Amino acid sequence: MRRGLFFLLLLALLLPCTAQAVDLELDAPAALLMEKETGEVLFAQNEHEPMEPASVTKVMTLLLTMEAIDRGAIHYDDVVTVSAYAASMGGSNVFLAEGEQITVEDLLKAVCVASGNDAAVALGEHVSGVTELFVTEMNNRAKELGMQDTHFVNCTGLPAEGHVTSAWDIAIMSRELILHHPDIRRFTTIWMDSLRGGEFQLANTNKLIRFYDGATGLKTGSTSSAGFCISATAERDGMELIAVVLKGTTSQQRFEDAKTLLNYGFSTYALHRIDAESPLPPLPVELGAADTVAVRLPEEGRTLLLPKGDVANLTQEVTLPPSVAAPVSAGQTVGALTVRSGEETLLEIPLLAAEPVPRLRWSDLLVRMLQDAFFCV
């Protein structure tokens, strides 16, 4: 019982938290707005209702592809031979022919810009060998990310019984993609391009790329049963937001809903990176090769998402022990910097040892004792 309670508490801490509620006039029945860096949810509406995502499914297809590239399993310049199955895909496609050879880079472009179902299948086959295994890996990755409302049946988003996800889950996988694989922007920010040496023209299905300031992606989708969907990303002043809209009534209305979400986020919130208000004092080291060790803040985990204007209300408290015993490792936690707004603790940042300090050897300790004795005479 205690173990189960501990797991639930841990899961609650790991999942993105939800900011204060606000009423936004949206056409779509399900929507969510998330900030990328912190994972904080700024707006949610029917966010856990399972719905058809249409081609927004391809966010997971792109995520698995980028992960395979980053671990060296596949490469941008790999040449893929298009299978008969990939070439047979209906819906949006780039008209790949069986036996056609095309690079992974061009397939990524075809998926991100034109939402090519044939290109998505070709990528899945290249990553996993067969699409069935790729879809299994999609579902496994969804579970790893905590996407509890999701079940994938294919890698394209074409209508299929039981193929569902939610606005919440789409935001989670979208965040994973843009946070850890920023190179995807090379493709998602393309407005117009071409394939096959300029013979086949591409135009981005995400019209926000041209018409919304700061748009960075990510993926549209639509079928008669799913309606008009989008996971839209945009960045301004160093803050990137993810706006998910499901089952919009028209193509233009989903873009309007996404803009409403993004406009709300950019007008209301800002990211603030925490720096120490005053220099951090060196920490005395007991029996160390050096008398003190410098203290520093970590590079990560120092960002707060705050309503604009709230930065002035922040206070800091540095907690350090009187000393630390040698040996000290570089990066060892030696204290904490606590950030508060009034009585509320917003963030606790570990303070780290900036460099290693080995323990004194017996010979060094003996020399030091003799020196102390000599100067005391």
Residues serving a catalytic function are 55, 58, 115
Instruction: Classify burial at 153, counting beta carbons within 10 Å of its beta carbon; exposed 0-12, middle 13-18, buried 19 or more.
Output: middle
- How many Å is the Cα radius of gyration of the chain? 26
What count of other Cβ atoms lies within 10 Å of the Cβ of residue 94? 23
Pairing of strands 227-236, 292-293: unpaired
Cα–Cα distance, 325 to 12 (Å, whole number): 35
C-alpha distances in Å from residue 272, one per residue of 165, 233, 249, 282, 309? 32, 20, 37, 26, 11
Residue 174 neighbours by CB under 8 Å, 6+ apart: 34, 59, 218, 219, 231, 233, 242, 244
- Determine contact, residues 360/291, Cβ cutoff 8 Å: no
Among candidate residues 177, 161, 234, the one with its CA nearest the CA of residue 58: 177
Residue 2 neighbours by CB under 8 Å, 6+ apart: none
Instruction: Classify burial at 279, counting beta carbons within 10 Å of its beta carbon; exposed 0-12, middle 13-18, buried 19 or more.
Output: exposed
